Amino acid sequence: MIRPTSLLSGLALAALLALPAFAGEFTAKSVTIPELKAVFGQVESSNVVPARARIGGTIRSIAIQEGQEVKEGEVIAEVVDEKLALQRDAADARIKQLNSQLDNAKLALDRAQQLLGRGVVSQANVDQAKMNYDVAVNQVTAAEADRAVIEQQSSEGSVLAPATGRVLSVPVTLGSVILAGETVGRIATGKYYLRLSLPERHATQIRTESTVLVGRRGMSTSASGGVDAARPGRIVKVYPEIVDGRVIADVDVDGIGDFFVNERTLVWIPVGSHDAIGVPAEAIITRHGVDYVRIAGADGPLDVAVILGSTFEADGKPLVEVLTGLRDGDRILLPEDAQ
């Protein structure tokens, strides 16, 4: 017959052998961590510049499409006004006419000067011929200037990209008739940023230079990867005006140049802080769906049931927040394989 005392001793020994060996300690201490709120941020471009036609006419060619990258000064479309060709021909004909008159005025002036030398005509006749010659010269100069204006207008049919960036939209098609100043394309230039629209109650908690966490592409937590996989960003501007009960803020973050303009993604922003106690993930023991942490008690190791929260960093180390079960200063026992 097995004695009860021997049976209890055997069960206790087996239970001790089944537990992991603990060799290290971690002192739990209360730290202040920020409270994060998940909101949607919308990708914006610092500037959206319209590429406008400088003359009116018909679009003969378009060299851009939505999403294309363009450089400043690049020809993105050609606008043709057929009336300019007719005006140029008319200007050429007028210049020929005035050149003929100039030649006649030059001959008349030379003849008058020769006759003046022989004493046949008076000085008044020479002065009149000189005036007619000067008028002809000025008329030719004015006609050539008019033709230069027409040439300049013809060259302005080339629509140039006003800045380097990505084409957002092309609101015209081949053969479209447009007026001077109409938009041929919209180009997003400069660095991309995230624009946040927050409830008014967070107005006093949003600060410039505060750090935020930006999720990956996608509007759900799973698609954005959660807080752990988010990239850091920085609030660079908080607008002083509240619009429709919302506070507007801009976030600077690297690596969003391949996002679509107006694309939305999750952003976690600090809206407050609270004191929390954290422990390393390896200190958590899960048995039958309940989480425990082994602490060093006065009478030896003691398993304490805990309720866990989110993960945060303290002193560069990842910790799991313990909502209940621990106190500041508790000595947490760490297993040997965690050392």
pLDDT one-digit tens code per residue, 166-196:
898 999 999 889 999 999 999 988 778 888 8
Which tokens in the block code for residue 212? 């935020």
- Within a 10 A sphere around the Cβ of 78, how many other Cβ atoms? 16
**Please, what's the b/e burial string for 265-282 (b: 16 or more CB within 10 A of its CB; e: otherwise)?**
bbbbbbbeeeebbbbbee
Res 94: pLDDT: 93
Cα radius of gyration rounded to whole Å, the chain: 41
User: Number of C-alpha atoms within 13 angstroms, CB side, residue 20?
Assistant: 19
Of 202, 208, 193, 253, the C-alpha closest to 38 is 202
53-79+157-187 CATH: 2.40.50.100
* Helix segments in 119-183, DSSP class H: 123-155
Res 171: pLDDT: 92
| Overall CATH class of domain 21-31+276-338 | mainly beta
- What is the location of CATH 2.40.50.100 in the chain? 53-79+157-187
Average pLDDT, the chain: 83
Of 214, 160, 217, 162, the C-alpha closest to 188 is 162
- What is the location of CATH 2.40.420.20 in the chain? 21-31+276-338
CA gap 226, 196 in Å, rounded: 18
Torsion of CA 92, 94, 100, 102, to 10 degrees: -110
Res 228: pLDDT: 63
Phi/psi for 145 (5° steps) reads -65, -40
Kind and range of the H or E element at 107? helix 82-118
Give the CATH architecture of domain 82-155. Orthogonal Bundle (1.10)
Which tokens in the block code for residue 202? 């967070």
Res 79: pLDDT: 92
Whether 263 contacts 43, CB under 8 Å: yes
Query: DSSP string covering 232-262, please?
Result: EEEEEEEEEEEETTEEEEEEE-SS-TTSPTT
Low-confidence ranges of the chain (pLDDT < 70): 1-23, 218-229, 257-258, 336-339
- What is the location of CATH 2.40.30.170 in the chain? 35-46+190-272
Domain 35-46+190-272 listed as CATH 1.20.1440.120: no
Phi/psi for 68 (5° steps) reads -80, 145
Residue listed under structure tokens 């973050």: 253
User: Number of C-alpha atoms within 13 angstroms, CB side, residue 143?
Assistant: 20
Q: Decide: helix, strand or coil at residue 6.
A: helix
Q: CB neighbours of 45 closer than 8 A, spacing ≥ 6? A: 165, 166, 188, 189, 190, 192, 261
Res 8: pLDDT: 39
- What is the location of CATH 1.10.287 in the chain? 82-155
Res 131: pLDDT: 92
User: Number of C-alpha atoms within 13 angstroms, CB side, residue 277?
Assistant: 19
